[in-house]
Structure 1
Amino acid sequence: MSFQKDVYNTMKELVAIPSISGTRQESFIAEKIYEKLLEIPYFKENTHNAGKVKIENDPFGRSFIWAVVNGKEYSENSLILSGHLDVVGVEEFGHLKSAAFDVERCTERISELDLDEDTRADIKSGDWVFGRGTADMKFGIALNIELLREFSVNRNFKGNLLFLVVPGEESNSEGMISAVPFLLKLREERKYNYCGMIISEPSIPEREEKVSKRLYIGSVGKIMPLFFCVGKETHVGESLNGLNPNLMVSEINRLLECNEDFSDDAYDAVTPPPMCLKQMDLKELYSVQSPLYAAAYYNVLTLKMGYEKFIGDLKSLAHEAFLNVLDNLSKKRDEFAKKSSRQLRFESVYPCVMTYSDILSEVKSNYKNFDSYIRKKISTWKDEKKDNQTIAINIVRETYELYKEKKPMIIISIIPPYYPHKYLKNEDSRSGKFIGAVDRTIEYAERELHEEIIKTNFFMGISDASYTGIGANSSVNSLISNIVGYDIIYELPIDELKKIDIPVIVFGGSGKDLHKYTERINVPYSFNVVPKLYKYMISNVLK
């Protein structure tokens, strides 16, 4: 059987397991992958070179899988092939939900759904196969398994080829985050030098491309700022005597939503501007009293953004929003007073913008048992199946209620998940060697395979590449201090990430419509060209 057919059959097997993120099916596919590895003769003889590692305190009992093939010639150099085993849900497939995890059935029946012109053309070409996880990213996992199998036969390379597949990438990257301390431990025990990592995410078409043939040397980052607004309660019959926090978050949203000043740019790439992911007040029951609290959190993408400046910019925007609201209310009070001939009694409010770290520091100094108190609260919220973002909002509320100054304010914090941006730089000696092998692979593709692979600066669909190191001199500490629930609901191994710093690229097959019912992967390029490029690159790095 050909290598391409092996990859295809393995992909079909993996797609058939509905490993939707945040479900126990992720554990089932991890077990399947582990079993497939143990079928390889090399791992039957070297059982110490493969393992399944359970993620500590994971509610779904998930694990990540690792395996390493040692080359015939010893070297510390170790190249990692990585990817994620989870997929998103299939609700949008409608009556084809039962076929979503069957590559051939889905490909045969996908035309029963409403399709755009590009999808219909791809079906007609016969060059694409459909199904949840085909592109994102079970082709990549299948390719890595079969590469490991092939390189384990003769082991004609110098160093080590390591395979790492993780769960949870489509949720909060729990798998990759948990794998970081493991990789450090493995490095220390075996004296490995992680000279590079290839994450097998697919590329998707840009600029009218029909088939995307891209290799990414950077990955976009993500920060989620939360604005927690405290107003001043009033009866609806005296609406101008209070300060509605809904008005505060609305003004913040007006200023921040799609604000290009918060678009990051680097190396000719520009991130989309921020978008509000959730806006709400925290009033639970109906009454004729105004809400006291409201909150909104945003998706902000980064390429090189300095975190101290970012926090400063958020504070400036919140202060502007506060001033605008107070000015607007003042004008409306004056207009109402003229219209009604009434003199309004209103206690003055002044803009107050604080960071969560400032509030938390003072609360902890006055309440020594705050940590144990909040942990009990978090345990209750988790039992109620609240997500990390809702829990983070609740933590800010509880912290404010223990703060001595009860007055209207805007509290700025960061809530999980946080993805550091990553970029492969030529000037770094370790990265330079890896990127040299990458460049030679691109030249090989053009010279021998007549394929143009476009080296692209940033993969703009957030990836686990974020957790391959952040650099010891990063200003991340200023950001971490404002992450709500850090080390309680959200454990990020910052110290380990500063130590590990693996050069990484994102390179896989060519896909389309990730997370849609028309998700598909291009067969000729993905199965015939990409494996040859992987083999060439592996041989170049481990030579």
Structure 2
Amino acid sequence: MGAIKQWNPKERVREFSLRLVEWASETGTPGEAAFAPKLAGLLREIPYFRDHPDQIRLVDSHGDPMTKSVVAVVRGRGSRTLALAGHYDVVSVANYRELASLAFKPDELLAALMADLESRRLNAAEQRALDDFRTGDFLPGRGLLDMKSGIAAAIAVLAAFAEDPDRQGNLVLVATPDEERNSRGMRSLRDALPVIATDFGLDIAAGINLDATSDQGDGTEGRAIYRGTIGKALPFGLVIGHSSHAGYPFEGISAQLIASEVTKAIEGNPALCDTSDGEISPPPICLECKDLRGGYEVTTPERVWIAFNWLSHRWGPRDLLDRFARAVGQAMEDAIGRFNEHARAYAALLGMPQSAPAASGEVITIEELRTRLRLIGGDVALARIGALESRLRDCDDPLMLTRTIVNAMVTEAGVIGPAVIVGLSSLLYPSVRLGLGDEHRAFAEAVESARLAFEAAGGSPVKYREYFTGISDMSFFGHRPAVDDSSFVADNTPASALVDTVRQDVLSFPVVNIGPWGREYHQRLERVHVPYAFDELPRLLREIVSCVLA
């Protein structure tokens, strides 16, 4: 610990952070595509990599222009290896508005934001930001918090590790694109990692994801080691009603009515929260609700699309979709039952016989819909759906992509309402967490030893949290999902482009998340807590490297 205690990373991490932020890398832009070679150039300024240029690799990821991941390896004695991982893409700078040209210049942006905030009446969030900036402990900039300061801390640790002539084991840094959309960077890197490990003779024992977290307090919650990350799914329902003229409402049933009942049953419902290890996931919430008609009609809508963001801890995709389907089915039954009650009451008012009641509905999974489509239209119908998806291959909106495909499948299969088609409309992010196996336990013990040593040397208290609450690459880093889960997801995801196809030779190892903290990431006032990100975080990481590789 002596060398680490005397190590002063602050200026170096600050320099690395500002250089990384200066290179604009919004997801899906040429700047993102140009970032990896620039990062490789920065790494080659480190003496170790000047002497070992072959230990930096660029790995193809995706896109047009092509993006790449960066892999940098510092070799020591033995094969035992720790991997540090971070993403370098950032969200759009549009919300900086008139200050967008300064978004990648933290010092200039700080001065401009303070001048703006000091010139006008502020809301509570803005006043909090101004107070933060006045302390000198917070620095703004697009991607500085999320998460280039994390990568900068890792680069400083990598350089310090390389300077130790007696280093044990190996340290790897991986920096990937596209975390902000579909984690295609990490998923392609995951697939390439077995070959890289073999080429360099590495046995990757564990990994640390370096993503950022938010803390609206004094940093007590932000200075954290996350044992796992939350899972995310986007279940959808394509509601199919039976249209009726507005003057004769009870001759059919509106898809809008059923959709509203489904939304009421699911939106923010605490009964649908997942719980694990004393933590409770946020409840599901509706991200999209659309009437699929193309124009004005004096009829009730036949098809309405709804999609929900659903976060989980323990539940796998089968558990989650089953709960969703049951909630949808009950809501549809309630909507139809109440609609028929209204029909009876209206008929009594008129003194006329009731028209035929609305029929009971059915819930149909995408797997079941495909089977119907095959039976009715055969391979020709399936081919038409495949051709439609091919035409939509450049679509970056998973909800629009899925909605278009499912709507076409319903038409091809001739589904008559009332019914709700259910499935998954985005890439599934698995929930992952440290397990109970020997490798996981040994890694957890090494991390705890490092945490105690860091605090004993004067570091701020660092707490454990069970689940990182943001969607992150941690769902794919070191994680090999169960084959049964992968098959179920593929069967119930209409767009094949949104299915994570996992090779069975991918490496599996325990991972935690330890990164910078700050406030309002992705927002105009995104800011990182400088003392922790530039000084304490790299010290903690270096101590963990020492304990894991000892």
What TM-score, normalized to structure 2?
0.91
**Correspondence for 1:38:** 44
Aligned match of 1:377: 388
Relative distance call for 1:401 and 1:347 in structure 2 (3 A) is: farther
Residues 1:98 and 2:101 aligned together: yes
CA distance in 1, matches of 2:54, 2:218: 48
Matched, 1:24 2:30: yes
Whole-angstrom CA distance in 2 between matches of 1:227 and 1:494:
26
Give CA deviations for 1:453-496 in whole Å, capped at 9, x if unaligned: 1111111112111002555657524641444245x322413344
Counterpart of 2:91 in structure 1 is: 88
Name which of 515, 518, 522 aligns with 1:511.
Answer: 518
Q: Secondary structure at the match of 1:315?
A: helix
- CA-CA distance at 1:407 after TM superposition: 3.7
Question: Aligned with 2:172: secondary structure?
Answer: strand
* Correspondence for 1:361: 371
Query: How big is the shift at 1:239?
Result: 1.9
Q: Unpaired segments of 5 or more residues in structure 2? A: 1-6
Give distance in 1, aligned partners of 2:541 and 2:320. Answer: 38
- Secondary structure at the aligned position of 2:523 is classed as coil
Corresponding residue of 1:521? 528
What's 1:139 paired with? Answer: 149
Q: Answer yes or no: is 1:490 the counterpart of 2:498.
A: yes
Separation of aligned partners in 2, 1:452 and 1:161: 25
Is the partner of 2:339 in helix, strand or coil?
helix
Deviation at 1:45, TM superposition (A): 3.5
Q: Say if 1:207 and 1:525 are closer, same or farther in 2 by CA, change over 3 A.
A: closer
Closer, same or farther in 2 for the Cα pair 1:22/1:485, shift >3 Å?
Answer: farther
CA contact (8 A) 2:83 2:172 kept: yes
- Aligned CA distance change for structure 1 residues 429 and 144 (closer, same or farther; 3 Å): same
Shift of 1:250: 0.7
Alignment partners' CA distance in 2, 1:166 and 1:194? 18
Change in 2 beyond 3 A, CA 1:491/1:37 = farther
**Contact 2:347–2:354, Cα closer than 8 Å, also in 1:** yes
Q: Distance in 2 between matches of 1:371 and 1:55?
A: 29
Partner of 2:425: helix, strand, or coil?
strand
Structure 1 runs not aligned, ≥5 long? none
Contact kept, 8 Å, 1:262 with 1:274, in 2: the verdict is: yes
Contact kept in structure 2, 1:220 and 1:459, CA below 8 Å: yes
List aligned pairs for 1:380-395, cutoff 5 A.
380-382=391-393, 385=395, 387-395=397-405
Aligned positions of 1:157-176 closer than 5 A: 157-176=167-186
Q: Matched residue of 1:357: which SS?
A: helix
In the alignment, is residue 335 of structure 1 matched against residue 366 of structure 2? no
Question: How far off is 1:155 after superposition?
Answer: 4.9
Q: Does the 8 Å contact 2:246/2:298 carry over to 1?
A: yes
Match of 2:232 in 1: 222
Which whole-Å deviations, capped at 9, do the CAs of 1:295-315 have from their partners, x for residues lacking one?
Answer: 111111111114333222222
Match of 2:3 in 1: none
Structure 2: how far apart are the matches of 1:209 and 1:36?
30
Code of the residue aligned with 1:64 in structure 2: it is S
Separation (CA, whole Å) in 1 of partners of 2:384 and 2:165: 55
Aligned residues of 2:424 and 2:494 also touching (Cα < 8 A) = no
Q: Distance in 2 between matches of 1:124 and 1:240?
A: 64
- How far does the alpha carbon of each residue in 1:150-178 deviate from its partner, in whole angstroms, 9 at most, with x for none? 32234532222111111111111111111
2: distance between equivalents of 1:310 and 1:180? 26
Q: Does the 8 Å contact 1:70/1:155 carry over to 2?
A: no
Is the Cα–Cα contact under 8 Å of residues 416 and 483 in structure 1 kept in the other structure? no
Q: Which moved more, 1:45-54 or 1:277-286?
A: 45-54
Instruction: Judge conservation of contact 2:365–2:492 (CA < 8 Å) in 1.
Output: no
In the TM superposition, residue 423 of structure 1 has moved relative to its aligned partner by: 0.7
- Aligned residue for 1:464? 473
CA RMSD of aligned residues (A): 2.3
Question: Under a length normalisation based on structure 1, what TM-score does the superposition of the two structures give?
Answer: 0.93
Closer, same or farther in 2 for the Cα pair 1:102/1:187, shift >3 Å?
A: same
Once residues 362 and 240 of structure 1 are traced to their aligned partners in structure 2, the CA distance between those partners, rounded to angstroms, is: 29
How many residues were matched structurally? 536
Q: In the aligned structure 1, how far is the partner of 2:416 from the partner of 2:336? A: 18
Q: In 1, Cα distance between the equivalents of 2:260 and 2:239?
A: 10
Is the 1:396–1:484 contact (alpha carbons within 8 Å) kept by the matching residues of 2? no
Check if 1:413 corresponds to 2:423.
yes
Which residue type is aligned with residue 225 of structure 1? P
CA distance in 2, matches of 1:149, 1:36: 11
Q: 1:398 to 1:424 in 2, by over 3 A?
A: same
Which SS does the other structure have where 1:272 is aligned? coil
Matched-pair contact (CA < 8 Å) for 1:230–1:407 = yes
Task: Report the AA paired with residue 303 of structure 1.
Answer: H
Query: Contact (CA 8 Å) 1:30, 1:63: kept in 2 or not?
Result: yes
CA distance in 1, matches of 2:202, 2:193: 9
Aligned partners of 1:494 and 1:373: how far apart in 2?
Answer: 26
Give the corresponding residue for 1:448.
457
1:283-302 equivalences under 5 Å are 283-302=293-312
Counterpart position of 1:10:
16
The match for 1:62 is 67
1:181 aligned residue: 191
Displacement, 1:357? Answer: 0.9
Q: Partner amino acid for 2:280?
A: V
Which moved further from structure 2: 435-444 or 449-458? 449-458
Paired with 1:386 and 1:160, the residues of 2 have a C-alpha distance of 38
Q: Deviations over 1:314-365 (max 9, x none)?
A: 2211111111111111111112212233445436412211111111133235
Give the C-alpha shift of residue 237 in structure 1. 2.4
